[in-house]
């Protein structure tokens, strides 16, 4: 299994880093694109046929889903290589309506996208088999319906855990239990705890969750363009003894 970070910028894209988008690849099956924020569609085109991917949303804040309508245009209207068949799309309950509005010609309409994706909604703790991967959603703590995702490859049993956007919750410890790679948001960077509750995590909190979960490595993501990635890493290292890296756009992680 390989994870390629297409974009990891928190809340908004940056000049060198799209907003959230993580491409999980396995041999001889479609990829799984986890979130598709602004700028992710451009990066995806550099790496593969955009049609050859299932999609999984952690939640539907704009920085995690706004390039989805562009993906639909490619799948439906590419003159020589449109999508040959439907792919899977998992997300919060409102995904077909929320994204259907984004993709429609009028704010009062909802584009019926079932021609190109089979939509299904996450149920907490209920694993979904997506080709060679099993994805289990855990409840995140965030202002809208949001999930952290535990992704396990069938042939190797290797695990990648993805926090999505979340404040502190013990569910994240369960989600990242013994994970080979824990990709955890660290929006508040080296913050000292004076930030709004139930929104995001600091680098220190990400490190603490990685330690409590027994994760083997920690990749810090969702740091905004105005943030301090090095401060986030230093804070995480005060809590977690394993390897800590910054999840920059273009980073490939072999799991």
> Where on the chain is the footprint of Zn ion (CB under 5 A)?
61, 63, 165
Q: Express the helix, strand and coil content of the chain in percent, nearest 5 each.
A: 20, 25, 50
Nearer to Zn ion, 47 or 199 (CB): 199
Nearer to Zn ion, 111 or 165 (CB): 165
How far apart (Å, rounded) are the C-alpha atoms in residues 192 and 237? Answer: 15
Q: Give, in order, the Cα–Cα distances in Å from 13 to each of 5, 43, 64, 114.
A: 13, 12, 10, 29
Nearest approach, Cβ of 152 to Zn ion (angstroms)? 24
Nearer to Zn ion, 69 or 167 (CB): 167
Nearest approach, Cβ of 15 to Zn ion (angstroms)? 18
Nearest approach, Cβ of 6 to Zn ion (angstroms)? 14
Nearer to Zn ion, 145 or 165 (CB): 165
With the C-alpha atoms ordered 185, 189, 193, 199, is the resulting torsion angle positive or negative? Answer: negative
Nearest approach, Cβ of 253 to Zn ion (angstroms)? 20
Nearer to Zn ion, 117 or 147 (CB): 147
How far apart (Å, rounded) are the C-alpha atoms in residues 248 and 255? Answer: 17
**Residue 142 DSSP one-character state:** S
97 — phi, psi (to 5°)? -80, -45
Residues 6+ apart with CB under 8 A from 183: 3, 22, 160, 161, 162, 163, 219, 221, 247
Nearest approach, Cβ of 79 to Zn ion (angstroms)? 34
Residue 10 tokens read as 């928190």
Question: Which residue has tokens 């999980």?
Answer: 24
Residue 202 tokens read as 């600091």
Q: Are 19 and 147 in contact (CB under 8 A)?
A: no
Nearer to Zn ion, 190 or 201 (CB): 201
Nearest approach, Cβ of 142 to Zn ion (angstroms)? 5
Nearest approach, Cβ of 166 to Zn ion (angstroms)? 9
Nearer to Zn ion, 54 or 61 (CB): 61
Residue 127 tokens read as 């694993």
């Amino acid at each position: 299994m390989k994870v390629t970070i297409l974009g990891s910028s928190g809340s908004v894209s940056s000049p060198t880093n799209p907003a959230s988008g993580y491409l999980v690849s396995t041999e001889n099956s479609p990829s799984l694109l986890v979130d598709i924020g602004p700028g992710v569609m451009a990066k995806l085109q550099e790496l593969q046929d955009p049609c050859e991917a299932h999609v999984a949303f952690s939640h539907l804040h704009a920085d995690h889903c706004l390039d989805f309508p562009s993906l639909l245009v490619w799948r439906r209207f590419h003159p020589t290589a449109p999508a040959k068949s439907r792919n899977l799309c998992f997300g919060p309950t409102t995904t077909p309506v929320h994204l259907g509005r984004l993709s429609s010609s009028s704010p009062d309409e909802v584009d019926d996208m079932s021609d190109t994706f089979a939509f299904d909604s996450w149920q907490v703790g209920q694993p979904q088999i997506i080709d060679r991967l099993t994805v289990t959603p855990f409840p995140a703590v965030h202002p809208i319906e949001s999930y952290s995702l535990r992704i396990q490859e069938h042939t190797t049993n290797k695990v990648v855990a993805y926090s999505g956007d979340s404040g502190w919750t013990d569910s994240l410890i369960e989600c990242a239990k013994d994970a080979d790679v824990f990709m955890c948001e660290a929006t508040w960077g080296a913050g000292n705890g004076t930030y709004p509750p139930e929104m995001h995590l600091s680098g220190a909190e990400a490190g603490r969750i990685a330690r409590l979960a027994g994760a083997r490595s920690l990749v810090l993501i969702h740091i905004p363009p105005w943030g301090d990635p090095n401060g986030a890493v230093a804070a995480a290292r005060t809590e977690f003894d394993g390897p800590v890296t910054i999840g920059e756009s273009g980073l490939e992680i072999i799991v």
